[in-house]
Amino acid sequence: MGSISLKKLSTRAPNDLDKKEIKEKTASIIEELSELQNLLYAESKHALLVVIQGMDASGKDGLIRNVLGKLNPQGVTVKSYKAPTEEELKHDFLWRIHQHAPAKGMIQVFNRSHYEDILITRVHKWCDDATAAKRINAINHFEELLTTQSSTQVLKFYLHISPEEQQERLNERIHDPSKQWKYNEKDFEEAKLWDIYMHLYEECFNNCTQTPWNIIPADQNWYKEYLVAKQIRQCLQSLNMQYPGLKK
């Protein structure tokens, strides 16, 4: 998809889009996704890995809840990656990732992912450039393994939020009682490192290309959810799945 510059990409929906109309389209797509997920589960020939990355307050949790949370929970698993545990640090960085790769028939969602090992680790100088280059190579091989040998479709989404919208959402966590449980003082410190994060994300997009990235405008949740739902539908439709017949 060429070299990506996040500053050149909008974080908002086109002005001519109607919010109500788009939300209705999203609801219709999610109904289709429910049937497609059923097909995926029944046929059990393919798997889908959905990787969701984004800055704090970009809406990763809400996206998962409002799009994938509407599907049959028997066929969808969500894994949230936080700081590695002591046990995980004793292994290679992909060890904790690979064990959650989806089985055939399943949709696996990563809320943050293996990409944190070349993002936040570099922002805070826990990982040098030479190690990061090796990790990028390993990530590309890992995704190649999934797609070519495990019949796994990999969809990667970066939720592209503006720094202004992020600040507004972080401040909501202070004042809105329903969101105070999300408040973390460290999020404001991380936000000050915005430019460094953007630079490293761009490096990530331009080098981790075994499977393509989808840059999703994320300032408006209704538009973000529409784009992601539509992309997942397109991916599952492309598999041309069929229900298996009677077992003999």
The answer as to whether 4 is a domain residue is no
With respect to residue 248, please indicate whether it lies within any of the assigned structural domains: no
Q: What is the structure's pLDDT at 35?
A: 97
pLDDT on residue 45: 97
pTM score, two decimals? 0.96
Other C-beta atoms closer than 10 Å to the C-beta of 91 total 12
Q: What CATH number did the domain enclosing 192 receive?
A: 3.40.50.300
State the Cα–Cα distance between residues 46 and 101, nearest whole angstrom: 12
d(CA 228, CA 221): 11
Neighbours of 2 (CB within 10 A): 6
The parent domain of residue 59 ranges over 19-237
pLDDT at position 246? 87
Amino acid identity at 55: M
189 in any annotated domain: yes
| Tally of domains within the chain | 1
pLDDT of residue 242: 96
CA distance 226 to 23: 7
Instruction: Please give the Cα distance from 157 to 230 (Å, whole number).
Output: 12
In a domain, 41, yes or no: yes
Question: What is d(CA 148, CA 151) in angstroms, rounded to the nearest whole number?
Answer: 6
Would you mind telling me the total number of residues written for the chain in this entry?
A: 248
5 domain residue, yes or no: no
**Is position 242 within any domain?**
no
Sheet holding 76-80, edge to edge: 76-80, 107-111, 47-54, 152-160, 213-217
Phi, psi of 245 (to 5 degrees): -80, -170
Residue 205 within any structural domain of the chain: yes
3-state secondary structure of 136: helix
Q: Are 62 and 98 in contact (CB under 8 A)?
A: no
Phi, psi of 228 (to 5 degrees): -70, -45
- Compute mean pLDDT per 10 residues along the chain, 248 residues long, and list them: 86 98 98 97 97 97 96 96 96 98 98 98 96 98 97 98 97 90 90 97 96 97 98 98 88
Is 11 part of a structural domain of the chain?
no
